[in-house]
Amino acid sequence: ARGAAPEADLAGRHVVVSAGGTREPLDPVRFLGNRSSGKQGYALARTAVARGARVTLVAANTALADPAGADVVRVGTALQLREAVLKAAADADAVVMAAAVADFRPAAYADGKIKKKDGEEPAPVALVRNPDILAEVSAERSREGQVVVGFAAETDDVLANGRAKLHRKGCDLLVVNEVGEAKTFGSEENEAVVLASDGSEVQVPHGPKEALAEVIWDQVVPRLAPRRA
Ligand code: CTP
Ligand code: CA
């Protein structure tokens, strides 16, 4: 654990962290959402501030207090999150996609509240794919030497799925955790493996999300591009 004066190994760096879960609206009062609380992303933002970084936190539908010292950009949908992340990534040294981004959104948005009608079955909800923001950021690398970190929540074959996902997304690091009803979501704690594209694998024992955040930054720092003059 770190003491009161953490090493400022992110001083002079701009890092972007996405957190929370996107909501994809069906009508003015309903959405498709997920169970992400945003706590892991907020822990990443707090620890990065403590390590001296300039932090942009792109927060999707979180109910958490703004971390002191971070620039917070609030978003709702996956498309809004994409826009905010790509904009902030333009001059970022590292981008960490901790947000749970909806893979699909409703194909149509009803301007008025959807009403039920007596004797009628509900219409199926048609969905379309959302863009893969992590894959896009990884492919783009808007700043040379930018380090890109993804997360993966898996319920089965955690490591094999994680490795495959790391290569598919093209990111440098993938933080894989096993999820289930009682695991991870909304919890203060987490347990994970940090997989790297260079083959390294760091096991992080069950513990506070802050501790996992520190391990992630420990893995990011040596991979950052040399500081520019
Ligand atoms: N992600 C993203 N854009 C999406 C979906 C996911 O940027 N449209 C990011 C998440 O923020 C996370 C990583 O991709 O960092 C992995 O998310 P995950 O849902 O595990 O991956 P998927 O490729 O969507 O695979 P799956 O079919 O298992 O959901
Ligand atoms: Ca997904």
pLDDT digits (tens, 9 = 90+) for 118-173: 999 998 999 999 999 999 999 999 888 999 999 998 888 889 999 999 999 999 99
Read off the tokens for 145: 């030497």
Q: Mean pLDDT over residues 87-107, rounded?
A: 98
Q: Is 34 a catalytic residue?
A: yes
Ligand whose nearest atom lies closest to the CA of 24: 1
Is residue 8, in this structure, part of any structural domain at all?
no
pLDDT at 188: 72
Ligand whose nearest atom lies closest to the CA of 104: 1
Is residue 49, in this structure, part of any structural domain at all?
yes
Counting the structural domains of the chain, the total is 1
Residue 203: C-alpha distances to residues 103, 130, 136, 178 (Å): 27, 31, 27, 12
Q: Which ligand 1 atom lies nearest to the CA of residue 103?
A: 8
Q: Mean pLDDT over residues 50-78, rounded?
A: 98
Q: From the candidates 34, 130, 177, 190, which is the catalytic residue?
A: 34
DSSP letter for 157, please. S
Model pTM score: 0.94
Is residue 6, in this structure, part of any structural domain at all?
no
Read off the tokens for 99: 């947000």
What is the residue range of 101's domain? Answer: 14-110+126-223
DSSP letter for 21, please. B
Is residue 191, in this structure, part of any structural domain at all?
yes
Is residue 116, in this structure, part of any structural domain at all?
no
**Is the complex ipTM more than 0.90?**
yes
Q: What is the mean pLDDT of the chain?
A: 93
Cβ atoms of residues 24 and 42 within 8 Å: no
Give the whole-number percent of the chain exceeding pLDDT 70. Answer: 94
pLDDT at 184: 58
pLDDT at 4: 52
pLDDT at 5: 58
Is residue 5, in this structure, part of any structural domain at all?
no
Is residue 7, in this structure, part of any structural domain at all?
no
Is residue 4, in this structure, part of any structural domain at all?
no
CATH code: domain of residue 151: 3.40.50.10300
